[in-house]
Structure 1
Amino acid sequence: MAFDLNSLQPLLLSLAIALTAFALFLSRHKKLLLCHRSKKQLPPGELGFPWIGETLDFYKAQKNNKMYQQFVQPRIQKYGKTFKTKLMGSPTVVVSGAEANKFFLSNEFKLVVSSWPSSSVQLMGSDSIMEKQGEAHRHIRGIIATSLSNSGLESMVPKICQTVESHFEAHWKGQDIISLYRKTRVLTFTIVLECMMGIEVKPNMLGVFERVLEGAFSLPLNFPGSVFWRAKKARKEIEKMLLTIVRQKREEIESQQSVGGEGGVLIFRLIMALIRDEMTEKEVVDNVVLLVFAAHDTTSFAIAMTFRMLAHHPDCYSRLLQEHVEIQKNKKPGEFLALEDIKKMNYTWQVARESMRLFPPIFGSFRKAIVDIEYDGYIIPKGWKVLWTAYGTHYESEYFEDPLSFNPSRFEEPIQPYAYLPFGGGPRQCAGYQLAKLNILILIHLVVTQYDWSLVNPEEPILVDPLPFPSQGMPIRISPKLQ
């Protein structure tokens, strides 16, 4: 029996049209389902205006040092601990709580990667540890960690003591009032360069570094006269200077004029990696720049806030002072502290930790989702930003009883992991944490054993631009103790 294909054409055409219509229906229905599902699973919150989102509210709260109280907490009360917003053009999910901190910070390189503004990357360095991922990050972090091992710290303690004593002689002696925060910035800058890097601090060097920092969170608009343009210009000055120093030190090491990290254990290890072709000159320079900023600015603020809280709590100061008097009794006149002395400063470190809980040197940081992430019953789409904040646990009674009160003794007991994060956490926890601890404890010891002091303005406001700082530089009255 023969088939008449011509007679089947209308039927085939109708079938094709029906199948096409059904396919379009399924496609549209699937998109509607996916769209509905996506909307349903995205965290609650508001994306705000196009591009700008809620950026202005965010910056306003940050500048007033009220990030948690004015921006985060009201949205937690409205939406819960996981909410969406839009900041600086990027859809962003803000998370709070120790569990959230642990989930996102411990999944670095797996679910999220560090995400810094373009201006920060350009000024700190695209080849610095803050931009490295995976094995490259672990390699640089290993070099830093080895430099700050027990043996490295032991050799650094007397160097830091000597640097602080020289600083007192140059900047404190004969003064009735000094700006503690500003002077400490000079001191911590000198310590990280001279004691850790073996680089001599020259006049105006700090000013050049601070011009770079001013542009680190600015809009990356590189036209003459802009903040970013001035910062880029300063960055080129620093790069030229550091390249000269790195090449000179490499020659000294290769000719065996400098061995074993003399004059700067970290710079020695970085240059040894350069000699072994494990790093480039640019990587060495970028990491030196980043570490100088990371080590000196946040540490200065932590020191200032520790003295602020001691001034507000004389009972805590009396107990702390007694701890240092006991340590000083076992030292000969003119003898520097040793690492073993630092380990005895238990209560002092509790005071410093509690001060950093109430006044964290960093408010938190951004991550970027590299895959779709399921968290807290929601979907965080690939490419979205994630923001964790230290305040999201530091100020919560769930983790700290009576969280707004100053109570150093709370650190006598173990703190829940990822609830206390003044230096971050996970693979990207501040690599210079141990150096910061040394700086804080040594300076406190030498100040309280050599000077009587008091705050000029106990209620001095704290501002943020882009990092927190005492608005008046924290002036203190000082007078040498009678020996």
Structure 2
Amino acid sequence: MALEMNFLALTCVCSLLTAMISVIVLMQKKKSEKKIRKKLPPGDMGLPWIGETMEFYKAQRKNRLFEEFVQTRRAKYGKIFKTRLMGSPTIVVNGADANRFFLSNEFKLVISSWPSSSVQLMGKDSIMEKQGEAHRCLRRVIASSLSCAVLEAMVPKICHSVESHLNKYWHNKDQISLYRVTKILTFTIVFECLLGINVEQEMLGMFERVLEGVFAAPFAFPGSKFSRAKRARKEIEKVLVDIVREKKNEMEGGLEGGEREGTLLAQLVAGMIRGEISEEEVVDNVVLLVFAAHDTTSFAVAMTFRMLAHHPNCFSLLLRENNDILSKKRDGEKLTVEDTKKMKYTWQVARESMRLFPPIFGSFRKAIADIEYEGFVIPKGWKVLWTTYGTHYIEDYFPDPLAFNPSRFEEPIQPYVFLPFGGGPRVCAGYQLAKLNILIFVHYVVTRYDWSLQYLDEPIIMDPLPFPSQGMPISISPKLL
């Protein structure tokens, strides 16, 4: 009996201790949650789950995300504020210090965070989904195909593509859609010059259908954008798998120069042969890089011509620079990488155009730990949204920020202020290729054609990336040489 009573007493004591510990843990948890709530940035989380997503999308479609969504909240709450977007609690940050903090702490405090639809369409094995060493391994392979030596050898190929493009789409025409035909050109350059793949006529259409669904709701019901995009993605995958396997057989059989060929596809397949990456990774990264390289570049080209049309004095300076380069070339002689280095004012114009009309709005990161920043706490699992406009349009970094002033790029710009290609470990690997595309195309157009925009203030909309709503029609006539 005494033993039973002692056991019962011990059981009661254990139960009491367990209850006390549970209460203490619960109190600590509530205290911690209360502490986090107190330290969260100001802002409005909006409706449950939906949050402020509808306001975000509405502003996005008009390409006024900064003015109608970010700037209004920034004015009310400060340069860091909370909201809820697409079901996720989100902290929006602005300024070079925030860009530096979050972009340079990739893999340490934050990781890239894309919508489910984007991941499914770009590919779960693409570099945008890779973290840490897996990301670094793939980036090394891609960077090796965009080295200075490779880019130098690529310049004549890009010149050839531009000349062929002008002969096909501009010759004997008095009007063209600049943005639309430039998309064809940048798509061709990515495939033929970077990847070493011949472009089939229907391929651009396939990629365009995929792009339509990258930010759509990930519901594959018949007729939806996402459903159409998924079908197009499967068609692309089928084509690319055949190309990758053919390239692998050629390289293993010694029929090609292997990695010495220099194309990105050859580098990726060589990594596959060595067992460093899989066939799925090769295909997914080709898909991603095509999107990353051609849509953003064609928009940057279009905005460069838009701003030149608005500022004839800037166009005169740019034209003089390019005519000087042309005057030193023999008839039919192609540009060299040294010629592109002389296009300093042309690149200032392009950079200022991208500052005012950045090809990307920004991107999301996800906190992988509780983050203390600017006296606030960003809880683990929350999203962080940085924006290009958060520095591009701020007077502290660019005096009179709405004015078009290419000369502001005569002096070096401080890091994490000008971000049309992102920053940190995930900065666009194709930045230098995009630069060459822009400079070479602008050179050939302004030295061979007189041109004028039909609509000086054509609205820019987003679906899902920014583009001129009418395709930027221009009137053209060949110069008399």
* CA RMSD after TM alignment: 2.2
| Cα-to-partner distance string for 1:71-99 (whole Å, 9 max, x where unaligned) | 11111111111111000000000000000
TM-score, structure 1 normalization: 0.95
The partner residue of 1:432 within 419, 430, 433 is 430
1:222 and 2:220 correspond: yes
Is residue 2:208 matched to residue 1:210?
Answer: yes
Question: Percent identity between the aligned chains?
Answer: 66
TM-superposition CA deviations, 1:299-328 (whole Å, max 9, x none): 000000000000000010000001101110
Counterpart mapping for 1:37-436 below 5 A: 37-259=35-257, 265-436=263-434
**What is the CA–CA distance in structure 2 between the aligned matches of 1:451 and 1:77, rounded to whole Å?**
45
Report the 3-state secondary structure (helix = DSSP H, G, I; strand = E; otherwise coil) of the residue aligned with 1:469: strand
| Residue identity opposite 1:189 in structure 2 | F
| Aligned-partner Cα distance in 2 for 1:125–1:172 | 36
Equivalent pair of 2:206/2:236 in contact (CA under 8 Å): yes
Q: Which runs of 4+ in 1 moved over 4 A?
A: 4-29, 260-264
Aligned to 2:127, the other structure's residue is in SS state coil
Return closer, same or farther for 1:125/1:31 CA change in 2, 3 Å cut-off.
closer
User: Which amino acid letter does the alignment assign opposite residue 391 of structure 2?
Assistant: T
Aligned partners of 1:208, 1:331: CA distance in 2, in Å?
A: 39
* Structure 1: unaligned runs, 5 residues or longer: none
The change in CA–CA distance for 1:22 and 1:446 in structure 2 (over 3 A counts) is same
- Secondary structure in structure 2 of the residue aligned to 1:323: helix
Q: 2:139 is paired with a residue of what secondary structure? A: helix
What are the superposed Cα offsets for residues 449-475 of structure 1, whole Å, 9 maximum, x if unpaired? 100001000010000110000000000
Mapped partners of 2:282, 2:7: distance in 1: 74
1:174-201 CA distances to partner (integer Å, 9 max, x unpaired)? 1111000000000000000011111111
Gaps of 5+ in 2: none
In structure 2, relative to structure 1, the CA distance for the partners of 1:252 and 1:64 (3 Å cut) is same
Query: Any idea what the Cα deviations from partners look like across 1:245-283, whole Å, max 9, x if unmatched?
Result: 111111222222211557761111111111111111111
Q: 2:449 aligns with which of 445, 448, 451?
A: 451
Higher mean alpha-carbon deviation, 390-399 vs 36-45, is at 36-45
Distance 1:7 1:155 in 2: 90
Q: Deviations over 1:141-173 (max 9, x none)?
A: 111211111110111101111111111111111
1:7-26 correspondence runs (5 A): 26=24
TM-score by length of 2: 0.96
One-letter amino acid of the counterpart of residue 192, structure 2: E
1:470 equivalenced with 2:468 (yes/no):
yes
- How far is 1:289 from its partner? 0.6
Give the aligned residue type for 2:256. S
Alignment deviations for residues 388-416 of structure 1 (CA, whole Å, 9 cap, x no partner): 00000000001111101000000111112
Residue type of the alignment partner of 1:382: K
For 2:462 and 2:22, the matched residues in 1 are separated by 54
C-alpha spacing 1:180/1:6, structure 2 compared with 1 (3 Å): closer
* Partner Cα separation in structure 2 for residue 90 and residue 17 of structure 1: 39
- Contact 1:194-1:264 within 8 A present in 2 as well: no
Q: Deviations over 1:430-461 (max 9, x none)?
A: 11111110100000000001000010000100
Taking structure 1 as reference, are residues 332 and 37 closer, same or farther at Cα in structure 2, changes over 3 Å only?
same
Q: Which moved more, 1:224-233 or 1:390-399?
A: 224-233
